[in-house]
Chain A
Amino acid sequence: MTDFWFQFVLTLDSTLRVATPLIFCAMAGIFSERSGIIDISLEGKMLMAAFVAAAVAYGTGSPWIGAVAAVLVSIIASLIHGFACIIHRGNQVISGLAINILASGLTVIIGIALFRQGGLTPTLTKTSRFNSIELPFIEFFELHTPIFGVIYKHLISGHNILVWAAIVSVAITYYILFKTTFGLRLRAVGEKPEAIDSAGISVTKMRFQAIIIAGILCGLAGVYLSTATGAGFVKEMTAGKGYIALAAMIFGKWRPVPALFACLLFGFLEAVATRIQGIEFILIGEISSDLLIALPYLLTVILLAGFIGGVTPPRAIGQPYIKER
């Protein structure tokens, strides 16, 4: 029993680690899509940022400079997306796809040109990464509160700063979207851009602001992958996380807090999938971890199809706004 309990806490711990990039990207997706811009380029922006973070952190020795550079590059990718689909009214899905494919190619090409290691960046040392932060009083809690002690030591303590930042980003997203004028306008621009336009606010400017915020958040997700959990960039290291985040965002019905729980659920599924390989369960036998990995996608399809409660995306999503003259 105690062993199961301990394993369970460890699973929750890795859930949080797996969910962190998903949370950043899901919040990015919420900002972008709430303003009416479909963003399937979460994946590509995260990948570019992961590469830049690792490369710059390696070059300068500072993860912080790496993070700033990564966020800047991710914003540039966002601006390309905006240039194509806000200014030139191009198809948002196609533009996002282009950025994803471009990211896959560029990261490897530049990686080889810089480091000649087949697309990898050199392994980062401890000082050029974001390391885990051990919280104080671990021994005190372990001694006096056995159950909470385990939770405190393994689940709450020992995360790097970006895990905390991801959770804080949910609160900030919620606050901006629902408690500020900017957020009200942002949501309106994704529902009825004409209304915002007739109120004398620039739809173009609002949408650009939204995708820049999305760029920042995707950038942080990439930073987390290559300089916090990982110790360097690996080709295609995002491995579809951007798409899972997209699924989580839809699963959370384009709202920050439900999206957070969707990210945690999908993170939990992945954490479980890596742990149950080869374990026989009573009555059901072995569960295939290959299939468990696909469960987030399946759940999202089922939800979108309205079989478990309906979802309504922002109304003006995917439509370029043409200002009336």
Chain B
Amino acid sequence: MQASRLPRYVDIVLIPVLNLLTALFVAGIIIAIIGENPFTALSVMLKGAFVYKGGLGYTLFYTTNFIFTGLAVAVAFHAMLFNIGGEGQAAMGGLGIGLVAISLGSYLPVIIVIFLAILGSALFGAIWGVIPGYLQAKRGSHIVITTIMFNFIASAILVWLLAGMLMAPNQMSPETVSFSDGVALWQFHEIFNKLGFDVGRSPLNLSFVIALICCLLVWLLIWRTRLGYRIRATGFSLKASAYAGYRPETIIIVTMAISGGLAGMMAVNEILGVQHRVILNFTSGYGFTGIAVALMGRNHPVGIIFASLLFGALFQGGAELDFEFQAITRDMVLMIQGLIILFSGALAYMFNPALEKLFLRNELMMRPKND
């Protein structure tokens, strides 16, 4: 990251918005090239995400996934660690839920099983984050490479278990048995229906609230605790952190545990909230989207909530594209996601020189002449 000489609001609002608009502009051009109207596509997506019955619920459901994976990436970023293992950590989180729910489901009260299952997801995700963290801190292996490899290893372990030991009997597809009755998080449309409001069916569940609580906790952790300060100090300078006696190795490992745990909790939304059994590939790339979310949200929980909402709307609106167009499918969302990562991640500073010139010139003109 390079030091910016721009006013704060430009840095945290104007530039992300500019980057996003550039990405959408390029996406619009591509849509026009393949012969569809980009504005129609946009309005279909907006309607699908917010207007149609249940649309908002789905949008917030996806938002929940992205808050978890976005927070995971952001926490690691604060220690200058690039955790692209969200996919694998979330997959392992799902396994954690499955093991708790299946083994204890019929012995303990439902509420305790749910509580333990959530802990299980965080624990399994954390383990899958801690190993790359340990290897980076103590053995010097590059965390990017290790987490990529761990994504594949996690996916292989899940295939192996779900098509083997954990596979439900008399079942053709690789998945576990369904959890016992009640081992599930409440869905919002049920709650609202009981209260007498008629909202469309959607998978939005209590995980959304858990995600928002996690946002608060991450904010407290990073900016209001000693550990958070040490995480940021380690990210700022490994040497300074060591000099201050913070033991950067331990900080790296702890940070990766927290990051992995948050990514693992994405499974709470998908598995405990909707599927109620462990299935293959439920992570569907949400771990990678978390990177885009963290980048756009500038690694701050508030930014992450907004960025998650944006991606949630993109995913839900993208699903709508399938119905309305012949030539555009939800793969369009992947493309837009790629463009957003490109423009607000890799090319994040593309506009800086031009904007700096603009703002500095204004400043010079505004400054009263002293001579």
A105 at the interface (CB under 8 A from B): yes
| Interface hits, A19-44 → B, CB 8 Å | 38, 40
- Say yes or no for B206: interface residue by CB 8 A criterion: no
Is B332 part of the contact surface with A, judged by Cβ < 8 Å? yes
Interface pick from B118-126, B182-190, B212-220, B338-346: B338-346
For residue A160, CB closer than 8 A to chain B, the reply is no
Which residue of the partner chain, among B141, B156, B346, contacts A293 with CB atoms under 8 Å?
B156
Residues in B whose Cβ lies below 8 Å from that of A98 = 338-339, 341-342, 345-346
Query: Does B3 count as interface, using CB distance less than 8 angstroms?
Result: no
Minimum CB–CB distance from B157 to chain A (whole Å) comes to 7
Asked whether A90 is an interface residue with its Cβ less than 8 Å from the other chain, the reply is yes
Which residues from chain A contact B164 at a C-beta distance below 8 Å?
Answer: 288, 290
Q: With a CB–CB cut-off of 8 A, which chain A residues contact B56?
A: none
* B348 contacts A93, C-beta separation under 8 Å: no
How far, in angstroms, from A90 to B160 measured CA to CA in the complex? 38
Interface flag for A313 (CB, 8 Å): yes
B51 part of interface (Cβ distance < 8 Å): no
Q: Give bound CA distance, A297 to B345, whole Å.
A: 27
Residue from B35, B144, B349 in contact with A93 in the complex, judged by beta carbons closer than 8 Å: B144
Using known A-B contacts A106-B335, A113-B35, A290-B159, determine if residue A90 contacts B140 with beta carbons closer than 8 Å. Answer: no
Binds B, one of A52-60, A179-187, A300-308: A300-308
Residues of A within 8 A of B334 (CB): 101-102, 104-105, 108
Binds A, one of B109-117, B197-205, B253-261, B321-329: B321-329
**A150: CB under 8 A from chain B?**
no
Answer yes or no: B172 CB below 8 A from chain A CBs: no
- B333 pairs with A306, CB closer than 8 A: no
Determine if A109 and B329 form an interchain contact, defined as CB atoms under 8 angstroms apart: yes
A116, CB-defined interface residue at 8 Å? yes
Which one of B2, B141, B146, B339 has the highest number of Cβ atoms from chain A below 10 Å of its Cβ? B141
Q: In chain B, what residue has the closest Cβ to A317?
A: B142
Contacts of A80 in B (CB 8 A): 342
Instruction: Judge whether A108 and B331 touch: CB under 8 Å.
Output: yes
Contacts of A97 in B (CB 8 A): 84, 288, 291, 341, 345
Residue contact A112 to B349, C-beta cutoff 8 Å: no
Q: Are A304 and B163 closer than 8 Å at their CB atoms?
A: no
Q: Is the CB of B145 within 8 A of A300?
A: yes
A94 at the interface (CB under 8 A from B): yes
A119's closest neighbor in chain B, by CB? B331
The answer to whether A95 and B346 touch (CB under 8 A), given A105-B331, A313-B142, is yes
Could you tell me if B135 and A88 are in contact, using CB atoms closer than 8 angstroms?
Answer: no
* Cα distance A150–B305 in the bound complex, in angstroms: 63
**In whole angstroms, what is the CA distance A177 to B200 when docked?**
62
Known: A85-B346, A305-B135. A109 touches B160 (CB 8 A): no
Residue of A89, A92, A101 ringed by the most chain B CB atoms within 10 A = A101
B347 on interface, CB distance cutoff 8 Å = yes
Quick one: which of B148, B327, B338 contacts A243, CB cutoff 8 A?
Answer: B148
Quick check: is B209 within 8 A (CB to CB) of the other chain? no
B34, B35, B152, B285: the one contacting A297 at CB < 8 Å is B152
Q: B30, B149, B163, B349: which has the most chain A beta carbons within 10 Å?
A: B149
Range for the number of chain B residues in contact with chain A: 35 or more
B140 contacts which of A89, A103, A300, A306 (Cβ < 8 Å)? Answer: A306
CA distance A301 to B143 in the complex (A): 10
Say whether A288 contacts B160, CB under 8 Å: yes
A298→B349 contact, CB < 8 A: no
CA distance A250 to B345 in the complex (A): 25
A113 lies within 8 A of B34 (CB): yes
- Pairwise interchain contact A95-B345, C-beta atoms closer than 8 A: yes
Residue of B whose beta carbon sits closest to that of A293: B156
Contact of B346 among A90, A247, A300, A305 (CB under 8 A): A90
The binding surface of chain A is classed by DSSP as helix
Known: A90-B348, A250-B145, A298-B153. A101 touches B34 (CB 8 A): no
| Pick from A92, A105, A240, A297: contact of B337, CB under 8 Å | A105
How far apart are the CA atoms of A307 and B140 in the complex, in Å? Answer: 11
Q: In the complex, what distance in Å separates the CA atom of A101 from the CA atom of B350?
A: 20
Q: Which residue of B lies closest to A84 (CB)?
A: B346
A94-143 residues at the B interface, CB under 8 angstroms: 94-95, 97-106, 108-110, 112-113, 116, 119
The verdict on B279 contacting chain A, using a C-beta distance below 8 Å, is no
Q: Which residues of B contact A293 (CB under 8 A)?
A: 156
A305:B139 contact, CB within 8 angstroms: yes
- Contact partners of A106 in chain B: CB under 8 A: 30, 335, 338
| Inter-chain contacts of A282 with B (CB < 8 A) | none
Cα(A112)–Cα(B35), bound, Å: 12
CB nearest neighbor in B for A320: B2
- Contact between A116 and B335 (Cβ–Cβ < 8 Å)? no
- Interface residue ranges of B285-328 to A (CB < 8 Å): 285, 288, 291, 295, 326-328
Q: What distance in Å separates the Cβ of A120 from its nearest Cβ neighbour in chain B?
A: 13
Q: Quick check: B332 and A297 within 8 Å, CB to CB?
A: no
Q: Which of B35, B142, B327, B346 neighbours the largest number of chain A CB atoms within 10 Å of its CB?
A: B346
Q: In the bound complex, how far is the Cα of B152 from the Cα of A85, in angstroms?
A: 26
Determine the residue in chain B with the shortest Cβ distance to A235: B331
Interface residue? A201 (CB, 8 A) = no
**Chain A residues within an 8 Å CB radius of B342:** 80, 84, 95, 98-99, 102
Given A88-B347, A313-B142, is A94 in contact with B150 using a C-beta cutoff of 8 Å? Answer: no
- Which single member of B142, B288, B332 contacts A105 (CB below 8 Å)? B332
| Distance in Å: Cβ of A45 to nearest Cβ of chain B | 13
Q: Which residues of A have CB within 8 Å of B337?
A: 101, 105
Q: Known: A101-B338, A105-B332, A290-B163. Contact between A246 and B148, CB under 8 A?
A: yes
Does A301 lie within 8 Å of B141, measured CB to CB?
yes
In-complex Cβ contact of A291 among B142, B146, B160, B326 (8 A): B160
4 closest Cβ pairs, A-B complex: A105-B335, A102-B338, A105-B334, A294-B156
Give me 23 A-to-B residue pairs in the complex whose CB atoms sit less than 8 angstroms apart, sorted by A's number. Answer: A40-B144, A84-B347, A88-B349, A90-B346, A93-B84, A97-B341, A101-B337, A101-B338, A102-B342, A105-B332, A106-B30, A109-B34, A109-B329, A240-B152, A290-B156, A290-B160, A290-B163, A297-B150, A300-B145, A301-B135, A301-B141, A301-B149, A305-B141
Given contacts A101-B285, A116-B327, A290-B159, 10 further A-B contacts (CB under 8 A): A89-B2, A92-B346, A101-B338, A109-B327, A109-B328, A110-B34, A112-B329, A291-B156, A297-B152, A306-B139
